[in-house]
Amino acid sequence: MLNSVLTSFAHRRRAASLSACVPILCLAVILCGCASAPGPTAAVSTRRAFDFPHDTFAYSNELVWDYRYDEHGKWVSKPHLPKPDYTHHCFVVARSARQFFEHARFDPAQPPANDATYRCLIKRVISLGANHEVPDSARVVIPGYANLHDFSAAHTAILQATCGGAWESYLQRGHWRMIFFFPRHHQEKMAQQLVTHIRQNRPPVVHVVRFPQLTINHAIVLFDATEAPDRITFSAYDPNNPSHPIPLTFDRATRTFEYPANDYFPGGKVNIYEVYRDWIY
C-alpha cells in the first residue's frame, strides 16, 4: 500500500522527495492534457461478473505500518513487527486481479503443472493490458485449479515474484492525475463511469487518494454497485484486506466519495479515478 510508503517518508522527514516528481508529472499533463477515452455504452454485458471469492488473490498486500488512534485522538503509526515480506504492491495486486479476470481461464480437470510452467503462464497473463479484451478461445489456460483464489493459495511465492515489483506501484502511469484538483462534477461523472463499467462486467481498478494529504494513496477493484436516490454503494476488492468486500460510497448530494475506516485509514472523504483503462491512465 503506497500510503504506508508516504508515511514512511514523512516519518523520516523526506517528504520533499515527492515534490521532485512534480515537474515530470506536469510534463505528462502538458503532453496528455485532460483527454480521456470515451466511455462504453451503459448496456448490460453478457460477460460473466467478477466473483469475489474466486477472482481475488488469497494473499494480501501487507502493511509496513500499524495505525491507530492514540489517547489524544490522533491517528498515529508505528512500524509493523515483524517486518512484512510483501508490501507496496497494492496497484500490482489490483491490476493483476483484473488481468487474470480478463485473460485467464482455470481448468481444474487438467493435471497441475510444475513451477516453471506456471511462471510462464503468469507472465503471459500479465503481458496483456488490464483493459485489453481477448476471446475465450485465446485466454491463457491455468491447469489444475478452479479459480485465482485457489491458484494463489497454492502458488503464492510464484505469483508474488512474477506479477510485478513494488516499483510498478510507484510508477503507475496515471499517478500524474492525483496532484491536480478534483472538482465535484468530475467525481460525479467518475461515479457514473464506474457504474457503467461494472454493469458491463468490466471491473474497474481505481486510485483512492487524498493528495496532498498522505493518509491514503491506494488501489482497489470495484465489482458491484447498488444505486439509491441519495447514494451509490460500490463493493470493492481491497488488496490489503482480501477476506471480504469493502464498501465505497458516493454521496449524490455532495458528489463525494467516502472510504470506510479500516486498519490503515481512519475513514472519510476521498477522491477516486479509474486507472489501467487507456494509455493516459
**238-281: pLDDT as tens digits:** 999 999 999 999 999 999 999 999 988 999 999 999 999 888 88
Q: Is the dihedral of CA 246, 50, 207, 58 positive or negative?
A: positive
pLDDT at 26: 40
- Note the Cα 85 to chain centre separation in Å: 19
- Cα torsion 209, 215, 219, 222: sign: negative
Helices (H), the chain: 2-11, 16-19, 22-32, 52-55, 90-103, 115-126, 148-154, 156-162, 167-170, 184-199
User: CA-CA distance, 281 to 278, in Å (whole number)?
Assistant: 6
pTM above 0.95, yes or no: no
Give dist(CA 35, CA 261) in Å, integer.
Answer: 33
Give the residue from 237, 232, 159, 231 showing the smallest Cα distance to 205: 237
For residue 255, give the amino acid letter.
R
Report the pLDDT value the prediction gives residue 69, as an integer from 0 to 100.
60
CA distance 90 to 61: 6
pLDDT per position as a tens digit, 178-198:
889 999 999 999 999 999 999
CB 170 within 8 A of CB 21: no
Per-residue confidence at 82, pLDDT binned at 50, 70, 90?
A: confident
Average pLDDT over residues 195-208: 97
| pLDDT of 27 above 50 | no
Express each pLDDT in 41-58 by its tens digit: 444 557 899 999 999 999
Confidence of residue 170 (pLDDT cuts 50, 70, 90): confident
| CA gap 29, 62 in Å, rounded | 32
pLDDT at 14: 36
* CB neighbourhood size of 276 (10 A): 23
Average pLDDT, the chain: 84
Q: Is the pLDDT of residue 95 over 90?
A: yes
What is the CB neighbour count within 10 angstroms for residue 207?
A: 26
Whole-angstrom distance, CA of residue 126 vs CA of residue 95: 9
Confidence of residue 122 (pLDDT cuts 50, 70, 90): very high
